[in-house]
Amino acid sequence: MHTQLNKMQALPPICLDRRLERLQALYQTIQQNKQNIINAINSDYGHRAAGETLLAEVLVNLEDIKHTIKHLPRWAKADQWTADWKFWPSRCAIVPEAKGVVGIMAPWNYPFNLVAGPLTAAIAAGNRVMVKPSEVTPKTAELIQQLLAEVFTDDEVHVVLGDVDVADQFSRLPFDHLLFTGSTRVGKIIMRNAADNLTPVTLELGGKSPVLIDRNYSLDKAAKSIAKGKWFNAGQTCIAPDYVLIEADRIEALIAALKKHTIDAYPSIDINNDDFSCVVNTQHFERLQGLLKQVPNNQIIDLYPDYQNQVNRMAPVIVNQPDQQSKLMQEEIFGPILPIVAVNDLSDAIDYINRGDKPLTLYLYSNNRTTIRRVKQQTSSGSLAVNETLVHFAQQRLPFGGIGASGMGSYHGHQGFVTMSHMKSVYYQSRLNGNDLVRAPFTQLKKKIINWMS
């Protein structure tokens, strides 16, 4: 790996015309391999709903690439302006330039999307790229290696396959930038490894993304949106609603509405329903079951009481007011379990959110401008989504990223180009140069000029 990195770092940045050509080729390759992407991820999961893969792994990336191709010529231009009047007629500019070689480490929950998205940004900025797909989804990793080899030369994009030890070695390479998507726990390890080389990092982590429902907002509408967002990919989404904050007297009605909309979306959860995805593997399935074993039975609302879990296919579960010290409420759930937490009012909900780590996303259901403004101003999160779940990730003009324990840095659209670029400051001194008027030796005249300028 180190030899490959050295080879790539010795090469010049990818020129603009070639970037556009490669991005267009990547777009076409993804279009032509939709079914292969669906099949690979489905194989890795045991079952992944084809519609979810098309939406989250294919469509989002196609739109991102299309948006990037359209705007890249403008993004790549230098931003120039006349210098401050004291230095007139000199000029200043900010010139985007490639950082060099970018390392991308992708997770298993959206194993294709979270390679292709960062890759699009890195190539757009003119970088060469090394990719480490997740070892948890090996079929998808092999497909990524195959498809990227069809689009890029090996000194433009190089894919590294391997286990956790390979991933650790990968994170220790002296990249010019490293983007990691995964858990907060592993993110800390990645950051320590990168620090030895002073490698700048973008960390896209997770955490417990809360849902806050305004007392005057329709519970039916909120429940429909929450259910569709929470159970997507069986809850294995970094921005999935992690828990719901609501007044105690409305919990019963919320649970009824969640049941209704869950059953409407998934009339059954058994193997004959292609719309509901499996938990990725037995290890994660058992982790989720372990979280539920710590919860008293009278707090668990089983939405499919007649269903017996089969082959990592776990039915959605609601947990009513769990112990705040339980693992369920201390760790990111990352599965089809939805806790509901009772609060007294909006102030209590805001205080609850602020006592924890800053979340990747905060979901608010409200039509009240004052409430929206208050939550926006009094909480801190990577993003705030009002009255809908998940879809803010697909907005190409919105940067995506966390804050604090949920990550650092962001990408998507123009922000991805900026993250993957060194925005170099350039100063052009004009032939007419009056700077000596304020440099030593400081005569009386020069002192008067400095005093006048200040």
Q: Would you say the C-alpha torsion 248, 253, 256, 262 has a positive or negative sign?
A: negative
Phi, psi of 452 (to 5 degrees): -65, -40
Query: Which pairing describes strands 91-98 and 157-159: parallel, antiparallel, or unpaired?
Result: unpaired
C-alpha triplet 108, 113, 119: angle, nearest 5°: 110
Integer Rg of the chain from CA: 25
Asked if 448 and 438 touch (Cβ cutoff 8 Å), the reply is no
Query: What is the set of active-site residues?
Result: 204, 238
Please, what's the largest Cα pairwise distance for the chain? 94
Helices (H) and strands (E) in the chain — how many of each? 17, 18
3-state secondary structure of 320: strand
Structure token pair of residue 45: 């999961």
Which of 136, 132, 145 is closest to 108 using CA atoms?
A: 136
Residue type, 124: A
Concatenating the DSSP letter of every residue in 171-185 gives: HTS--SEEEEES-HH
Phi, psi of 30 (to 5 degrees): -65, -45
What whole-number distance in Å separates Cα of residue 171 and Cα of residue 410? Answer: 19
Q: Three-state SS string across 384-442, please?
A: EEECCCCHHHHCCCCCEECCHHHEECEECHHHHHHHCEEEEEEEECCCCCCHHHHCCCC
Cis-peptide, bond into residue 339, ω within 30° of zero = no
Which of 227, 220, 314, 310 is closest to 265 using CA atoms?
A: 227
Query: Which pairing describes strands 91-98 and 79-82: parallel, antiparallel, or unpaired?
Result: antiparallel
Query: Which pairing describes strands 91-98 and 421-428: parallel, antiparallel, or unpaired?
Result: antiparallel
By CB neighbour count within 10 A (0-12 exposed, 13-18 middle, 19+ buried), where does 426 fall? exposed
- CB neighbours of 273 closer than 8 A, spacing ≥ 6? 266, 267
By CB neighbour count within 10 A (0-12 exposed, 13-18 middle, 19+ buried), where does 431 fall? exposed
Q: Would you say the C-alpha torsion 327, 329, 335, 336 has a positive or negative sign?
A: positive
Q: How many CA atoms lie within 13 A of 111 on its CB side?
A: 26
